[in-house]
Structure 1
Amino acid sequence: MIVKSSWALPRLTRLAIPAVLALVAVLLPFILPGDRWVRVAALALIYIALASGLNILVGLTGLLDLGFIAFFIVGAYTTAILTVQLFVNQLGFDPDTLWWLFPVSLVGALVLAGIAGCILGYPTLRARGDYLAIMTLAFGEIVRLVSINWIGLTGGSVGIRGIPPFAIGDLELTSPSANYYVVLAMVVVILVALAGVVASPVGRAWVAIREDELVASSMGIRTRRYKLLAYVCGASIAGVTGVFFAHMQQFINPDSFTLEDNFIVLSLVILGGAGTFWGPVVGATLWIFFQAIARDWTIVQEHPEFRTGFLALIVVVLMIVRPGGIVSRKLKLTRSGGDVERPEPRTAPAGLEPDPIEAGAPVLVVDTVGRTFGGLTALGSVSFEVRRGEILGLMGPNGAGKSTLLNVLSGVTKPSRGSITFRGDRIDGLDSDRVSVKGVARTFQTVRLFWQMTVLENLLVGAHERLRGWVPAFALRLPRHRHDEARALTEAGSVLEFAGVWDERTRRASALSYDSQRRVEIARALMTRPKLLLLDEPAAGMNESETKALASLITAIRDSGTDVVLIEHDMDLLMSVSDRIVVLDHGEVIATGTPDEVRRNPAVLEAYLGSDA
């Protein structure tokens, strides 16, 4: 049975809002009353670009940056120094003939701002909260102070004058309308590129990191690499914007880039809606035009600081009455959803490859693994093996070390001693993202989905390793990547059908029932195409009928070719599906055998019932 998905909006409907906004933007200079307001519109476009770049860090990836204007400074001074200080002052070129230098300035600003993003991003990868805010703020101030004090290069507090205007050959684009359209072209390119990147594995990785960095890593996402990429992309956008700003103003000095600007751009992101696509556009547009209108108010003329005070007040009130910002429409993290078709019911999800290892051969060997936390020993010396084609149950009383063992197996926690070998490769020293790539997937004791994503988007995060690529390729929406995404969505449909949650595919994870959440979490783990699946109490909180259905799913996963390690406190479930059971107590293995053997083992009875049993 093939059923065409009805969840995706028609393409024309999806493009309606951008088309209307584009038409308004094109006609705006003819609508606004005079050049002053056209210049305001051009400035609004500059802030739209800046807010969109900062939104990558703050809204998508969840990284607070209070020094973002530093990258804007790098871009503006790059083109000013290159054109005025080098080609005009040093080499004697006529400024009117330097129109061809503009693309060179763009490339230079892109590279230098990207490098600055790396310089800032790398040491802040492990920082969070207040520490991250302080480090980024300090970086921004360092760049601004350098621009003030390096007089020979930047002109110091006097700045750099005589920056050539926009031009094409002998045609100078100096009118407010011409400046507006040039900057509009930049913003359109940035927004189109961003739309492509957001609806790609890169955008999903950023959002996954924001929502749950540990789970993102367990899905094979190299979280530090993608956080650094977010810094580079945001910085590059700000650097390019600085080039356009410098040529539009034809003059820059340190007063053009104040500490206050960092907070203004951040406020615009929050005002419009952090983590949304159109939020920065709406926030920047409303604020810049409001600021221009307020300039004519008597109270603002007497107290100019009130303009920024009004913004602060608006943001505070908005965070109370509408925490998500003005724009609440969630991001679409894939563009190929309309191609999903319901697959035929099947006994195994698509994408699994034949396994060359014969049944019964060891696939996971845990050898004297221990883990201590300070003076506390969570695991003493644990040894066991998982064999090809089996479900291995892990049982033990509370505090026995089961979840710690699962964290060690999945790379979330490094073992203090011992070794773990999976299919012939040592994995005990690997991070969780590399363990996932090796073929080990896991679920968590408490359901941990990406709650703001749809079910299909959650599963596409599981396919991240197969969909990686270059950011420019995603920005350009090359056909190969679109086809890869469509194949991944087809596979996701197969996995959802296999897990019994196909009908939930378009819903947000936060709107699912508890049973569906558990099944979607298992389905997302299966999208990594694991050879070994670690399940941490998947039946916790389920009723009897849901538990029986889960037992059938776990058995089907084993039968489809994925070995399973199962932690479960529901003894009926554990005994009914496990081929063998390993029993832990106080971080040590006290018994190993079939379910019947474990039931009769005196050491197990004593661990659960006490020595008087």
Structure 2
Amino acid sequence: MNSFLQLGLRYRGTAAVTSAAIIVALLAACPWLMDTYYLNLLFMIGTFVITCTGMNLLIGYCGIVSIGHAGLMATGAYVSSYLSTQAGLSFWVVALAGMLMSLVIGSLIAIPTIKAGGVYLSMITIAFGVVIHEVLIRWDAFTGGPLGISGIPKPELGGYRFDLKSMYLLVLAVSVLVLVLIRNLRRSAWGRAMIATKENEIAAASLGIRKFAVQYAGFAFSAVLAGLSGAIYAHANSFISPDTYHFQTSVQLVLIVILGGAGTVLGPVVGATILVFLPELLQMEKLRMALYGGIMFAVLFFLPKGIVGTAGQLLGRKIRGYAKTGPSPARERNSETPQLFAHASSSGAVMLELNGIHKHFGGLHALKDVSFSVATGAVHSLVGPNGAGKTTLLNVISGLYSANQGTLSLRGKSLNPRSLSDVTMLGIARTFQHSRLFKELTVLENVMVGMAGRRRVGFAHALLHTPKQRRDERVMEERAHLLLDLIGYEGDRDMPASQLPYGHQRMVEIARALATEPDLLLLDEPAAGMTAAEIGQLEQLLRKLTAYGLTIILIEHHMDFVQRISDTVTVLDFGKVIGTGKPEEMLTDPRVIQAYLGAEEVAAGA
């Protein structure tokens, strides 16, 4: 059965490549099939595809809406035009210079943009675009002022000067190349990390993913593509002026991505084609901004995933630029599973120690002088009524919150102050009170993204899909399959995680946490919403994990489950520890009963 499935998947992949090759061949034949007017429109589409593929990386993958990318296009265009007209350098040299300058400026803009986040992010990019436009108008010595730069030479190669046909073929080749690069990136640990950060920054950080690093890489690469597009456009038209790169251009770039489908590889192609041809067909050049506004309104309300994304949903599968992985190859599961935890510490030592932990939010003291230790290889449960401070304590241990006072140490090494991603890299993984799986990723990818914090290949390897990248991807995929085997997941591993039943979501979230290679696992109410059978499966899993040497801190309200699985129980009430000991002792302690039921109920029962 597996061989037939793999054969079908291989056939589908071959058919997709063949179809793409046929489409590219037809597009390459266009210079001999149509007149100059339409060829010019296709050239414009190509330049937009190059820029908007980078924009798609920002909006669709990183969740950054830049409304100033016309400024980066202008940077590439003006730098390359100035060097070619004033220094006589060849197009291939000045285009590279334009890309590098766009990279430098884009990298500088990325720092405050990413750190600001939210609505301030878009405002910074808008301000950048406005500033660049003013510089183009006022810096006459470099930009030519309002009149722009004319007489920009066409590219030459081996004595041949490019004409419109050659420029179109050049932009077609570059467009295909950047689409392939983005497709490669989407199928890598970098791409999964970007999507994870976009969907849920806290969940991504809990996997060791550093938001700034992945979003900075995305912004920088999109700046390079914008600079390249600007350089090609300037040298094809032999003239540029500030009017080419105003606010309307930036709006058009964003609309292309949203209309086509943010986060889809082909979205920029579809969006650019419609946005270039539609005003021409409708003869609405003077009302272009009104048309864009109407399209934006319609897309946001009726096609929130864009044309390509919506088409993918209607077809019952996502058009994302990644192939389904299919069934994993046959392997010795039982013998290999223990290797997942070969680094786990031996039992007997203290894994985690807390001394005098205090945490307050303004005048609310959520934790007060919390002190206890957790033995290696044990299940240490935290119980207490709602509002006792259990989840707050987990947030402090994991680095999501910083303690106002007190010390934490993992295997004798201080944890404070540390960020959430730093704590994960030290060997602490966690799940959350409510499921935080990444909905845009498949079940298998959700587990694989747990390894993104320890990614072993660089951004360039991910873009180029190098042999090193492919080897690393195979290792991560195999490890993800082993973890799904471990939790007993037998469903479709290529289905979107959003379609999983809630109990399965909780188990997959545990597998994702285990993918970070932890020594200490923090579980926040993992059995919530599970059936009795699923709780039994969870119990078996936790026993396996402790047998492999993992240490677990568990928050749970199913007291019978806590009593069966726990080695030690710590009881919290109003942020204070009121007892630590064996589960049978703690769960029958009058102080614990009083904390849960209240003094009046205890007295009535007596």
Q: Which residue of 1 aligns with 2:14?
A: 12
The answer as to whether partners of 1:351 and 1:491 remain within 8 angstroms in 2 is no
Given the superposition, is the C-alpha separation of residues 556 and 334 from structure 1 closer, same or farther in structure 2, using an over 3 Å criterion?
farther
Given the superposition, is the C-alpha separation of residues 199 and 354 from structure 1 closer, same or farther in structure 2, using an over 3 Å criterion?
closer
Pairwise mapping of residues 15-94 of structure 1 onto structure 2 (< 5 A)? 15-32=17-34, 34-85=35-86, 87-88=87-88
The answer as to whether partners of 1:4 and 1:341 remain within 8 angstroms in 2 is no
Counterpart amino acid of 1:572? D
Pairwise mapping of residues 213-252 of structure 1 onto structure 2 (< 5 A)? 213-252=201-240
Counterpart amino acid of 2:586? V
Counterpart amino acid of 1:154? T
Given the superposition, is the C-alpha separation of residues 355 and 281 from structure 1 closer, same or farther in structure 2, using an over 3 Å criterion?
closer
Pairwise mapping of residues 281-430 of structure 1 onto structure 2 (< 5 A)? 281-295=269-283, 300=284, 304-328=285-309, 329=312, 330=318, 332=320, 337-338=325-326, 340-346=328-334, 349=337, 351-355=339-343, 357-430=345-418
Q: Which residue of 1 aligns with 2:138?
A: 149
The answer as to whether partners of 2:325 and 2:494 remain within 8 angstroms in 1 is no
1:426-484 CA-to-partner distances (Å, cap 9, x unmatched) read 22211111111111111010011001210111111011133342222222211111011
Counterpart amino acid of 2:63? G
Which of 554, 558, 569 is equivalent to 2:542? 554
Q: Which residue of 1 aligns with 2:315?
A: none
**SS of residue in 1 equivalent to 2:484:** helix
Alignment RMSD:
2.0
TM-score, length of structure 2 as denominator length? 0.94
Per the TM alignment, residue 310 of structure 1 is displaced from its structure 2 partner at its CA by: 2.2
**SS of residue in 2 equivalent to 1:592:** strand
Per the TM alignment, residue 417 of structure 1 is displaced from its structure 2 partner at its CA by: 1.3
1: CA distance, partners of 2:160 / 2:203 = 54
Given the superposition, is the C-alpha separation of residues 604 and 259 from structure 1 closer, same or farther in structure 2, using an over 3 Å criterion?
same
2: CA distance, partners of 1:357 / 1:544 = 31
Bigger Cα displacement from structure 2, 394-403 vs 8-17: 8-17
Per the TM alignment, residue 604 of structure 1 is displaced from its structure 2 partner at its CA by: 1.2
Q: Which residue of 2 aligns with 1:446?
A: 434
The answer as to whether partners of 1:275 and 1:331 remain within 8 angstroms in 2 is no
**SS of residue in 2 equivalent to 1:528:** coil
**SS of residue in 2 equivalent to 1:317:** helix
Q: Which residue of 2 aligns with 1:129?
A: 118
Does 2:111 correspond to 1:110?
Answer: no
2: CA distance, partners of 1:262 / 1:9 = 40
Given the superposition, is the C-alpha separation of residues 348 and 399 from structure 1 closer, same or farther in structure 2, using an over 3 Å criterion?
farther
Per the TM alignment, residue 342 of structure 1 is displaced from its structure 2 partner at its CA by: 4.8
Which of 198, 201, 210 is equivalent to 2:198? 210
Which of 424, 434, 438 is equivalent to 1:436? 424
Per the TM alignment, residue 351 of structure 1 is displaced from its structure 2 partner at its CA by: 4.1
Per the TM alignment, residue 289 of structure 1 is displaced from its structure 2 partner at its CA by: 1.9
Bigger Cα displacement from structure 2, 356-365 vs 577-586: 356-365
1: CA distance, partners of 2:114 / 2:435 = 26
Counterpart amino acid of 2:20? P
Counterpart amino acid of 2:59? V
Given the superposition, is the C-alpha separation of residues 392 and 486 from structure 1 closer, same or farther in structure 2, using an over 3 Å criterion?
same
2: CA distance, partners of 1:476 / 1:353 = 32
Counterpart amino acid of 1:324? K
**SS of residue in 2 equivalent to 1:363:** strand
Per the TM alignment, residue 39 of structure 1 is displaced from its structure 2 partner at its CA by: 1.0
Which of 243, 249, 252 is equivalent to 1:261? 249
2: CA distance, partners of 1:197 / 1:345 = 30
The answer as to whether partners of 1:84 and 1:162 remain within 8 angstroms in 2 is yes
Counterpart amino acid of 2:303? R
**SS of residue in 2 equivalent to 1:441:** strand
**SS of residue in 1 equivalent to 2:329:** coil
The answer as to whether partners of 1:53 and 1:233 remain within 8 angstroms in 2 is yes
**SS of residue in 1 equivalent to 2:279:** helix
Given the superposition, is the C-alpha separation of residues 334 and 390 from structure 1 closer, same or farther in structure 2, using an over 3 Å criterion?
farther
- Identical positions, percent: 35
1: CA distance, partners of 2:187 / 2:297 = 31
Q: Which residue of 1 aligns with 2:151?
A: 162
Per the TM alignment, residue 334 of structure 1 is displaced from its structure 2 partner at its CA by: 5.5
1: CA distance, partners of 2:471 / 2:333 = 24
**SS of residue in 2 equivalent to 1:383:** strand
2: CA distance, partners of 1:578 / 1:348 = 27
**SS of residue in 2 equivalent to 1:583:** strand
Per the TM alignment, residue 560 of structure 1 is displaced from its structure 2 partner at its CA by: 2.1
Given the superposition, is the C-alpha separation of residues 419 and 336 from structure 1 closer, same or farther in structure 2, using an over 3 Å criterion?
farther
Per the TM alignment, residue 68 of structure 1 is displaced from its structure 2 partner at its CA by: 1.2
Per the TM alignment, residue 258 of structure 1 is displaced from its structure 2 partner at its CA by: 1.4
Given the superposition, is the C-alpha separation of residues 23 and 466 from structure 1 closer, same or farther in structure 2, using an over 3 Å criterion?
same
Which of 178, 181, 186 is equivalent to 1:190? 178
Q: Which residue of 2 aligns with 1:140?
A: 129
Counterpart amino acid of 2:481? G
Counterpart amino acid of 2:269? V
Per the TM alignment, residue 294 of structure 1 is displaced from its structure 2 partner at its CA by: 2.8
2: CA distance, partners of 1:527 / 1:128 = 28
TM-score, length of structure 1 as denominator length? 0.93
2: CA distance, partners of 1:266 / 1:447 = 31
The size of the alignment, in residue pairs, is 592
1:552-596 CA-to-partner distances (Å, cap 9, x unmatched) read 112112112211110001111111100001111111111000011
Pairwise mapping of residues 429-508 of structure 1 onto structure 2 (< 5 A)? 429-508=417-496
1: CA distance, partners of 2:30 / 2:325 = 34
1: CA distance, partners of 2:572 / 2:4 = 49
1:21-52 CA-to-partner distances (Å, cap 9, x unmatched) read 312221222332x1111111101101111111
Given the superposition, is the C-alpha separation of residues 350 and 600 from structure 1 closer, same or farther in structure 2, using an over 3 Å criterion?
closer
Given the superposition, is the C-alpha separation of residues 17 and 319 from structure 1 closer, same or farther in structure 2, using an over 3 Å criterion?
farther
2: CA distance, partners of 1:446 / 1:560 = 27
Counterpart amino acid of 1:451? K
Query: Which runs of 5 or more structure 1 residues have no equivalent in the other structure?
Result: 89-97
**SS of residue in 2 equivalent to 1:221:** coil
Q: Which residue of 2 aligns with 1:581?
A: 569
Given the superposition, is the C-alpha separation of residues 559 and 14 from structure 1 closer, same or farther in structure 2, using an over 3 Å criterion?
farther
Counterpart amino acid of 2:220? V
The answer as to whether partners of 1:459 and 1:492 remain within 8 angstroms in 2 is yes
1: CA distance, partners of 2:4 / 2:382 = 42
**SS of residue in 2 equivalent to 1:123:** helix
Per the TM alignment, residue 503 of structure 1 is displaced from its structure 2 partner at its CA by: 2.5
1:368-391 CA-to-partner distances (Å, cap 9, x unmatched) read 111111111111111111111100
1: CA distance, partners of 2:9 / 2:559 = 43
Per the TM alignment, residue 335 of structure 1 is displaced from its structure 2 partner at its CA by: 5.5
Does 2:556 correspond to 1:571?
Answer: no
The answer as to whether partners of 2:457 and 2:472 remain within 8 angstroms in 1 is no
